[in-house]
Structure 1
Amino acid sequence: MAFWRNVSPRGAASDLWHELAQPRPHRWLFVLTAALTTVAVFSVMWREGAKGPPHPPKITYIESFAAGRTDAEIIAGNIAATRLAREREAEEKRRAEDVRQMYKTLGRMSGMDVDAIEKKARADEAAEAAAKEARKAGTTSSSVPENRR
């Protein structure tokens, strides 16, 4: 708040006039450049044309369930949805395995030791899972020495 006590419009205008009145070689060029820059920035903002916050979206409610469904119909629907989700998950696993096999084939054709790479990846996954379990149990398996913690 102390800053605003030392600021006055009259003092600012007086300081500006004092600086402009001093003979400097390019003072009017600087004034013109500052004015044009200000006008350019404000004209860009003016062309944006924003007029407040956007209007909220119109919501259309769609009822996908019959109002008078019985418990048996609800259970049957849940079973069907679960079955469909499991089928999709199995299909996704099959596709992932196909992609994995394609990459293995490509790796073998490129001369890579695919089996060693897979073995290392499984070891890394097992170590990560063990570390995650250790964190859950509250212990830490850190390689940082005690005096560095």
Structure 2
Amino acid sequence: MRLKTRFNAKAGFADLWDYIREPRPYRWTFLTISILIPLVAIAMLAQESHFRPPDAPKVTFISTFAEGRSDEEIRQTNIENQKRKEAREAELAELREQKVEAYKTLGRATGLDVDEMEREAQIENAREEAAAEARRRELYPAGTTVDDSGE
């Protein structure tokens, strides 16, 4: 069987024309709506939007160091910074020690055995350090060096 005989556009248009010519109420309204719905959908989908790419950021470099510093000046700055860092660390260690003493005083006032608690904490800290050392040895076998400073 041929496609031409199965799908005849001429017969389809003739049927449409006959259907339109029949006197029905609101036929032109329904025909207009049925044509407008797909046209509006196609028009909405066919709209093209062009978005402009964002402007490149303007970077301003701020340098607190003087241009052309010598190696000796850089070295001196690093030494001063290291001294400030060590002073801050010492101050933090002192504050931590004061905090521990305050908690010990509070513990003694409430009837706790703070000496036993301190011994348990030291044992726990030693255990954690040993586990960390074992992990370090596992990750870095003998013959390799590890810098503990995190650098």
TM-score by length of 2: 0.51
Distance 1:62 1:73 in 2: 19
Q: CA deviation at 1:73?
A: 0.9
Which amino acid in 2 is paired with 1:65? F
Percent identity of equivalent pairs? 45
Q: CA deviation at 1:56?
A: 7.7
Structure 1 unaligned residues grouped into runs of 5+: 1-50, 139-149
Distance 2:105 2:119 in 1: 16
Which amino acid in 2 is paired with 1:118? E
Q: CA deviation at 1:134?
A: 2.4
Q: CA deviation at 1:62?
A: 1.1
Query: 2:113: which partner in 1?
Result: 113
Q: CA deviation at 1:131?
A: 2.0
What are the Cα deviations for residues 68-94 of structure 1, in whole angstroms up to 9, with x where unaligned?
211111111010000000000000000
Query: 1:28: which partner in 2?
Result: none
Query: 1:95: which partner in 2?
Result: 95
Structure with the greater alpha carbon radius of gyration: 2
1:1-149 correspondence to structure 2 within 5 Å: 59-138=59-138
Q: CA deviation at 1:54?
A: 8.8
Greater CA deviation, 61-70 or 109-118? 61-70
Q: CA deviation at 1:132?
A: 2.2
| Cα distance change, pair 74–136 in 1 and its aligned pair in 2 (3 A) | closer
Distance 1:61 1:88 in 2: 29
Distance 2:90 2:80 in 1: 15
